Structure 1
Amino acid sequence: MNVLAILESDIMKNLIEDVLMDETAVQNVKVIKPNSDLHSINYKSVDMIIIDVRNEYEKVLSYIEKIKKKYSYIKVIVIDVRKRSKLFKRFIKCRAEGYIVDIFDKEEFAYIMHKIIIGKKFYDLDLLQELFDEDEKNGRNKLTIRENEILTLVGDGYNNKEISQKLFITENTVKKHVSSIFTKLGFKSRKEVILYLKKNKRATYL
């Protein structure tokens, strides 16, 4: 495995070289600065890219995103001590294999790197939870006001006939709204709706 590390810090350079030296799968580690000529690199011979984004390197990050899309087999690991959720979303979208925000000690870092090298993925749990929460919120925002009303009533255990009577609409209209809700939020049963509303403390979905 050939590794390309884009690093500004000499401390990070020493750490990564030290950790990867113990990995039998790694044959070569090339370290370059963020201001290096990235176009001159033969990416066909690169198996992993590690990039430390302590500062803003928009051109570098955009370029790496393009490389990942072109060479999907290249493993991309981002080290972001500033823990930026927007940056995290970008690299999740381009299917980066790792997103690390804290390096407490060498052993932990070595463990994470080894797992990624053998085919696992590693993402910061806090950033991952933020992403899930945002996706959930966006899903709720897709519902119309009427769909939100019906969602709440379904969660209260009312059937379609009872909902139609409460909202003074036809039962067929209720069925259409329920079907739309299930499609938008990915539900398969009314039981899932009830569990979903309990989990989210019956928040207002407007």
Structure 2
Amino acid sequence: MNRLTLYTNPMSRGRIARWMLEETGQPYEVVVLDYATTMKEPAYLAINPMGKVPALTHGDRVVTEGAAICTYLADAFPEAGLMPEDRAGFYRWMFFGAGPLEAAVTNAALQVVVPAERRGMVGYGSLEKVVATLSGHLAGQPYFLGSQFTAVDVYVGSQISWGLQFGTLPADPVLADYAARITARPAALRAKAADDALLGPKP
């Protein structure tokens, strides 16, 4: 009745959700969907009308959006230690990742230039400001919430790691050190191996 099922594609943000599931230590099933076909079929649209992944079902509950999935799993399985007592810090940085960081990186990748006098309208100001905020916060501490690894590090850390890897975030030594630390975790390595295996052998 409380089965966890992840709907995903290895070329998607579903990688974040899989890593989070691995961190919880809970058993889960995976349904791999294709962007052009199964993701747009009625059976899946009944789960996520947006026709995108990831989505998570936990029994009869449905959760979509990466930040929401990570937060839900941290709350549902407190024994995993991924939801800190510092809820204020948790929500602050989780939604910083879902808001300013996501928007700034996406706009930069699309070459959307926000005029200096209009930066107050976009919420994040500038990509440089976002990077400086992240780097300043992580300087001198291993994780977003100090010494405790949490779901924030899965969600926001994934965005930082991808941004550095694909060049959508500028090189920053603090962020690079942080990314190397979190992606070396056993759960992160298991999740990466499982998703990479779905891509098939490299040519």
Q: TM-score scaled by structure 2?
A: 0.26
* TM-score normalised by L of structure 1: 0.26
Tell me which of the two structures has the higher relative contact order, counting C-alpha pairs closer than 8 angstroms and 6 or more residues apart: 2
| Structure with the greater alpha carbon radius of gyration | 1
